[in-house]
Amino acid sequence: MTADRELRVSKISSGTVIDHITSGQALNVLAILGIDGTDGEVVSIGMNVPSDRLGTKDIVKVEGRELSQSELDVLSLIAPVATINIIRDYDVVEKHRVDRPTEVTGVLQCPNHNCITTEDEPVDSHFEVLDDGVRCVYCDTIIREDLAAHILV
Ligand code: CTP
Ligand code: ZN
């Protein structure tokens, strides 16, 4: 990134920078992380920021926060090429790409009201991850759009 673009969202001293988020998904990323600002977290958001690699991207910087594996799994579904940067003392001390899992359990709600996972039975939702969506392994319902609206966590 060029220096003038860097200025758009300032550097943080410690925390997590979620970079290369698919444009338009930043607020969904915050929803996945359960961040709505009411707990006083310091959060910076860039939306539709120019990116050499992606054309445009979103970016989310959360100070003093690391992410769990299940948060990363769900994140990868809406932002498959996101980069997770752990920042300490202003330095990037860890950088990893999110991994697109082959399946996700217990993180998405099946939209089929007759699905065994949406009834009273204690059955966790279980989706197979496809190239263009996810498929419920119990009832074969496919979710292709707006995955974030189906997130349970
Ligand atoms: N960053 C930050 N605060 C810091 C250090 C880095 O907010 N103290 C941000 C940068 O603005 C950038 C991301 O963390 O968006 C990754 O930083 P860095 O690895 O230095 O940038 P790039 O080399 O551009 O990353 P990549 O190769 O992943 O595109
Ligand atoms: Zn189902």
- What whole-number distance in Å separates Cα of residue 107 and Cα of residue 24? 21
User: Which DSSP category does 122 fall into?
Assistant: -
Which pLDDT score is estimated for 7?
Answer: 57
pLDDT at 153: 63
Q: How far is the CA of 147 from the centre of ligand 1 (A)?
A: 27
Domain range list for the chain: 3-97, 103-150
Asked if the 3-97 domain carries CATH number 3.40.50.300, the reply is no
Q: How far is the CA of 14 from the centre of ligand 1 (A)?
A: 12
Task: Give pLDDT, residue 67.
Answer: 83
Class of domain 103-150: mainly beta
The strands making up 91-97's β-sheet, listed across from edge to edge, are 43-51, 55-63, 15-22, 83-88, 91-97
The ligand placed nearest to the CA atom of residue 53 is 1
Q: CA 58 to CA 149: how far, in whole Å?
A: 18
* Domain 103-150 in the same topology as domain 3-97: no
Q: Give the pLDDT of residue 33.
A: 85
Ligand 1 neighbour 73 (Cβ under 6 A): no
**Mean pLDDT, contiguous 10-residue spans, the chain (153 residues):** 59 95 93 88 94 94 85 86 95 92 90 91 91 94 89 75
**Residue-level pLDDT at 59:** 97
| Cα(87) to centroid(ligand 1), Å | 9
